[in-house]
Amino acid sequence: MLSLEDYLQRRILSKGPIPISEYMQACLTHPKFGYYMGEHIFGEEGDFVTSPEISQMFGELLGVWVVSQWELMGKPKHFYLIELGPGRGTLLADLMRVVKSQKGLKDAIRLYLVELSPKLRELQKSVLSCYNPTWSYQLDQIPHGPTLLIANEFFDALPIRQFQRVKAGWHERLIGLGDRKQHLFEFVLSRFPSAINLERFFPKALEGSIIEVSSSSNFYLRAISQRLIAYSGSALIFDYGYIEDKLVDTFQAVKNHKYTSVLKNPGQSDLSAHVNFTTLKKIGEEISLGRVEVVTQREFLYTYGIEDRVKSLIDTATREQVSNILLAHQRLTGLNQMGELFKVLILENREVE
């Protein structure tokens, strides 16, 4: 096999058009050619910048959250601190600096990282090895016990499927091959209507409407909620997403901080989709967690004291650093910026079944 393009073309030639989820999964996580198997993907020099990479304040405020949750849990002797998809490990490195100052807390933490990219695991090791983390491929491989879990820009990377409303009903949007010679990827609709009864959920959807379904996201949220129900704890899921059902296509590709075609150069750009926070919230509610709430990133960071943190960083900063701190504050909390585009799903449970 020469490239991911080659692999995907062969799959489609032998099987017919494939679901977007299969294409997305291969593009992001194929063991040899997947996008996350590279290492220069985050930060100003990479393809996109995430909140912890914008400023140390993000991880530090999550450190404040960990301290407060640990106290609310009654300071358990041991608990699991889990991050899903830790990228370069920046968030946890900043978080642990805050946590270290609390007597008894650092020793109570069993740190687990859910990460499948070997290169990113190496990067994480270089900044977090002093906290003895354990790596895992799946949440259910982590031993059971009280848990604090964090995920930032993890759910948007989980595969989605799309369905489109046409005259005759809902059909799945698949990826097939167009042009016979060049075998370019293109979207096609499934020949037969979907077996999933989407009409029941969206009876008023207009022709052309698209809905997105992410079974992997739903599966993860169920697994997190069940863990919290059984052993108590809390989780924070940060991502760009929506809180009212959207009937549009949010499948996107980013390369060098710019949008690009999802169908071109598979494995070379970051593919993602907006997170459906309504569905995730419903799953948490069905499992009857003590608290299930979605707030904006801005509200969350203000609650955990970003303004005070900005002030104290400025106190000891040079003039150039001051403008960087103010800019970072604006990017993280600004209206029409990450402050509002990003939401946080908060899950909490203290009553154990």
Q: How far apart are CA 343 and CA 209, in angstroms?
A: 24
Q: How far is the CB of 19 from ligand SAH (least distance, A)?
A: 16
- Please identify, using beta-carbon distances, which residue of 65 and 170 lies nearer to ligand SAH: 65
Beta-carbon count within 10 A of 302 CB: 15
143-146: long-range pairs with CB below 8 Å, 24+: 143/80, 143/110, 144/227, 144/230, 144/231, 145/78, 145/79, 145/80, 145/110, 145/231, 146/73, 146/76, 146/78, 146/79, 146/80, 146/231, 146/232, 146/233
CB closest to ligand SAH, residue no: 85
Give the shortest CB-126-to-ligand SAH separation in angstroms. 14
CB of 81 to ligand SAH, least distance (A): 14
Under the rule (CB under 6 A), what is the footprint of ligand SAH?
28-29, 36, 42, 50, 52-53, 85-87, 91, 114-117, 120, 152-154, 157
The three-point CA angle 152-335-99 to 5° equals: 40
d(CA 165, CA 202): 10
**Which residues, other chains included, contact 286 with Cβ-Cβ below 8 Å and sequence gap of 6+?**
none
CB 243 within 8 A of CB 278: yes
Closest CA to 88 of 119, 66, 134: 119
Q: What is the closest distance, in whole angstroms, from the C-beta atom of residue 188 to ligand SAH in the complex?
A: 26
Work out how close the CB of 24 gets to ligand SAH at its nearest, in angstroms, rounded to a whole number: 10
Report d(CA 274, CA 252) in Å as an integer.
Answer: 9
CB of 183 to ligand SAH, least distance (A): 27
Choice between 52 and 241, CB closer to ligand SAH = 52
- Compare residues 71 and 122 and give the one whose CB is closer to ligand SAH: 122
Least distance (Å) between residue 237 CB and ligand SAH: 11
Q: How far is the CB of 171 from ligand SAH (least distance, A)?
A: 27
Burial 81-92 (b: 16+ CB within 10 A, else e): bbbbbbbbbbbb
> Which C-beta is closer to ligand SAH: that of 174 or that of 236?
236
Are 213 and 173 in contact by the 8 Å Cβ rule? The answer is no
Residue 169 CB, nearest approach to ligand SAH (Å) = 31
Whose Cβ is closer to ligand SAH: residue 157's or residue 229's? 157
CA distance 269 to 253: 6
Cβ closest to ligand SAH, residue 88 vs residue 281: 88
Q: Which of residues 112 and 170 has its CB atom nearest to ligand SAH in the complex?
A: 112
Evaluated on CA atoms 100, 103, 107, 113, the torsion sign reads: negative
Rounded Cα distance between 262 and 303, Å, is: 37
**Which of 42, 240 has the CB closer to ligand SAH?**
42
User: Which residue, 85 or 267, has its beta carbon nearer to ligand SAH?
Assistant: 85
Q: Burial of 177 by CB count in 10 Å (0-12 exposed, 13-18 middle, 19+ buried)?
A: middle
CA dihedral of 135, 82, 102, 70, whole degrees rounded to 10: -150
